Amino acid sequence: MSLLKVDDIHVYYGAIHAIKGVSFEVNEGEIVTLIGANGAGKSTTLNTVAGLLKPRSGLITFDGKPLNNVPAAKTVSLGMALCPEGRRIFQQMTVKENLEMGGYTRPAKEVPASIEEMFERFPRLKEREKQIAGTLSGGEQQMLAIARAMMSKPRLLMLDEPSMGLAPILVEQIFDIIKELHAAGVTILLIEQNAQAALSVADRAYVMETGNITMEGPADELLHNDDVRKAYLGD
């Protein structure tokens, strides 16, 4: 049974037809990745699923319920969390306050325990608990963004370019975190330009090109597919 099902959605920015009939699904317990070049429509797709953009047509269902007219603020309590492109942590708030905001939809008395859990998983954040988030390094900011998204206890975690702008060693760390979260039972929808890394952790993958899905299949199959290797893996 698929947790998220996106069926033939079309999204426009004004007159620009950005997403031209995209369909995919994410099953409970999977890591699914959308790979593709800059401007292929990956982020637009994710933002549409999260409710920040409205599809002009098509259907999005989460856990069997239609999502089309659900505003972004309500999708969180349904069990979805988007860790957006560029991290978008609250720069002027402390690390702890950022995490508190991540738990905004949860009962107030459960939040401190969840923050402690995040601090256990991300000890660096614990060290920087009272620091203003804008002063963190890029890698720390990405950890904070992921931890903040996890604060809502999502069933589906959507990560938009988590490795963007990070040094290789940090990219590795971020992918280790993704594996850990998956092992802990979180279903993950991952968008990446780093196709190699994304395909290595994912179960299944979709390739996006200029607003369409052009290829799909098990991640290790795509990892060894010649077209994919040529276009996205630099072979």
Partner 1 sequence: MISLLSTLLNGLSLGSVYAIIALGYTMVYGIAKMLNFAHGDVIMIGAYISFSAILYWNVPPILGFLLAMLVCTVLGIVIERLAYKPLRQATSLAVLITAIGISYLLQNGAQLIWGANTKAFPTMVSLPNATLFGGSITISNNTISLLGDQLKISGNMLVTILACVVIMVALTLFINKTKMGKAMRCVSEDKGAAELMGVDVNKTISLTFAIGSALAAVAGVLLCTSYPVLQPTTGAMPGIKAFTAAVFGGIGSIPGAMVGGILLGIIEKLGQTYVSDQLGDAFAFAVLIIVLLVKPTGLMGKKVHEKV
Interaction site with partner 1 (CB under 8 A)? 50-52, 71-74, 76-77, 81-82, 84, 88-93, 97, 100-102, 104-105, 108, 134-138, 141, 148-149, 152, 165
Alpha-carbon distance of 98 to 183, in angstroms, equals 25
Least distance from partner 1 to the Cβ atom of residue 104, Å: 5
Q: Which is nearer to partner 1, 83 or 202 (CB)?
A: 83
Q: Which is nearer to partner 1, 166 or 205 (CB)?
A: 166
Least distance from partner 1 to the Cβ atom of residue 68, Å: 16
Least distance from partner 1 to the Cβ atom of residue 97, Å: 6
89-94: long-range contacts, CB 8 A cutoff, minimum separation 24: 89/133, 89/134, 89/136, 89/141, 89/144, 89/145, 89/148, 90/133, 91/132, 91/133, 91/134, 92/132, 92/133, 92/134, 93/132, 93/133, 94/129, 94/130, 94/131, 94/132, 94/133
Q: Which helix (H) or strand (E) holds 76?
A: helix 72-78
Least distance from partner 1 to the Cβ atom of residue 114, Å: 14
Q: Which is nearer to partner 1, 37 or 101 (CB)?
A: 101
Alpha-carbon distance of 30 to 180, in angstroms, equals 13
Q: Which is nearer to partner 1, 26 or 81 (CB)?
A: 81
Least distance from partner 1 to the Cβ atom of residue 96, Å: 11
Q: How buried is 180 (Cβ within 10 angstroms: 0-12 exposed, 13-18 middle, 19+ buried)?
A: exposed
Question: Facing residues of 161 across strands?
Answer: none
Q: Which is nearer to partner 1, 143 or 149 (CB)?
A: 149
